[in-house]
Amino acid sequence: FELESLLRKAMDRNEFSLYYQPQIDTNSNKIYGAEALLRWHSRELGLISPNEFIPVAEETGLIVPIGEWVMKEACRQNKEWHDRHFPKFPVSINLSIRQLYQTDLVERLNKIIQESGLDPKYLELEITESMTMDTETTSLILCQLKKSGVKISMDDFGTGYSSLNNLKKFPIDYLKIDQSFIKDIAVNDDDRDIVATIIMLAHNLKIKTIAEGVETSEHVQFLKSQDCNVLQGYHFSKPLPAKDFEKWLINWN
Ligand code: G
Ligand code: G
Ligand code: MN
Ligand code: NA
C-alpha cells in the first residue's frame, strides 16, 4: 500500500541518505568510529524513521536493494574521507535478517568493497541477536564475512535471546550494549551491575565493548570506570548528515 509503493520509488528518487553518529574511544577521547544510520526523506511523507520502513522493506524484499545501497554509500563516503585526509576510522552499517541470510551476501559485499577501493578493515557490520535463528548457519556466514576483512558487531546486546551461546560461537569483534541498560545506570544498581557484568564477560572473551545511548557525563564516568572501550550517544553527538558530521569531526579535539 502507500508506504510500500513510495518505498519502491524512493531509491530512484534519491530519497535515502546516511547519517553518521560518532563513536568515542574511552581512553583517548578521540574518534573511534561512526555508525551509519539510514534516513528516508520522502517527498510525500516527510522524514520517516527506519523503525517504520525497515519492517516494510523486509516484508517486501526491498531491503535487499536498499541494504546494498547502504553498503555502497557507506564504503564510498568513508573512502572519500580517507582521500580527503580525515582521520581513518571504521564506519558500521546495520544488516537486517534478510540480508544476513541472502545467499550471495558475501559475493555482493566483496564486489562493493573492491569497487569502492576502501580497505575492508574500515567497514563494520552490525547484526542483532534476534536475527540469528540457527547458531551453526549464522557462525558460518559470519566467518565468511570476516574473511572479507570486515569487522562484526553484535548490536542491541542483552535484548535478544541465547546471548551467551552466540557470544561464544560467533566471530564477533564488538559487542554493543543496548541503550536500555545504559539509560538508568546513574540511579539503578541493577542496571549498573548488568552493564559491569556484560563488559567483564565480553572482555574475558576478547570482545571489545561499545556502549550505546550515552547521554550524560555520569554515564561516561561509570562506563570509563568499567573499562568500556567505546562510547556512542547524544552526549557526544546525535546522528548527523555527512557534511555536519565533518564539521563535528573538525571541531572535536
Ligand atoms: O537512527 P534510528 O534510531 O532512527 O534507527 C532506528 C533503527 O533502525 C535502529 O534499530 C537501527 O539499527 C535501524 N537502522 C538504521 N539504519 C539502518 C539500515 O541501514 N539498515 C537496517 N537494516 N536497519 C537500520
Ligand atoms: O538499533 P541501533 O542500535 O542500531 O539504533 C541506534 C538508535 O539509537 C538510532 O536510532 C539512534 O538515532 C539512537 N540513538 C543514538 N544515540 C542515542 C542516545 O544517546 N539516546 C537515545 N535515546 N537514542 C540514541
Ligand atoms: Mn546499530
Ligand atoms: Na543498538
Closest residue by CA, ligand 2 atom 9: 37
Choice from 153, 155, 212, 234 to test ligand 2 binding pocket (greatest atom count within 8 A of CB)? 212
Angle at 202 between CA 155 and CA 75, to 5 degrees: 40
Number of domains the chain contains: 1
Supply the pTM of this predicted model. 0.97
Whether 51 maps to a domain, the answer reads no
Q: What is the ipTM of this complex?
A: 0.97
Query: What pLDDT, on a 0 to 100 scale, did the predictor assign at position 98?
Result: 87
Whether 142 maps to a domain, the answer reads yes
CB proximity list for 37: less than 8 A, separation 6 or greater: 18, 19, 20, 21, 50, 94, 239
Q: Does ligand 2 come within 6 angstroms of the Cβ of 94?
A: yes
For residue 175, report the distance from its CA to the centre of ligand 4, in Å: 10
CB 233 within 8 A of CB 215: yes
CATH code (residue 186): 3.20.20.450
For residue 13, report the distance from its CA to the centre of ligand 3, in Å: 26
210, β-bridge pairs: 176, 230
Angle at 113 between CA 252 and CA 101, to 5 degrees: 105
Range of the domain at 76: 62-237
pLDDT tens string 108-133:
999 999 999 999 999 999 998 776 67
Choice from 15, 17, 19, 37 to test ligand 1 binding pocket (greatest atom count within 8 A of CB)? 37
In the chain the first and final C-alpha atoms are separated, in Å, by 48
Q: Which region, left, alpha or beta, applies to residue 151 given φ > 0 means left and ψ of -120 to 50 means alpha?
A: beta
CB 209 within 8 A of CB 198: yes
Whether 29 maps to a domain, the answer reads no
Residues having CB closer than 6 A to ligand 1 are 37-38, 49-51, 54, 70, 93-94, 96, 239
Q: Give 150's DSSP letter.
A: -
Point out the residues of the chain with pLDDT beneath 50.
none
pLDDT tens string 212-243:
999 999 999 999 999 999 999 999 999 999 99
Atom of ligand 1 nearest to the CA of 93: 19
Whether 123 maps to a domain, the answer reads yes
Choice from 37, 216, 223, 232 to test ligand 2 binding pocket (greatest atom count within 8 A of CB)? 37
Whether 12 maps to a domain, the answer reads no
Query: What pLDDT, on a 0 to 100 scale, did the predictor assign at position 53?
Result: 96
Alpha carbon distance 24, 22 (integer Å): 6
Whether 21 maps to a domain, the answer reads no
Whether 169 maps to a domain, the answer reads yes
- State the ligand closest to the CA atom of 23: 2
Whether 15 maps to a domain, the answer reads no
Alpha carbon distance 124, 106 (integer Å): 14
CB 212 within 8 A of CB 246: no
Closest residue by CA, ligand 1 atom 19: 38
Question: Cα 44 to chain center, whole Å?
Answer: 28
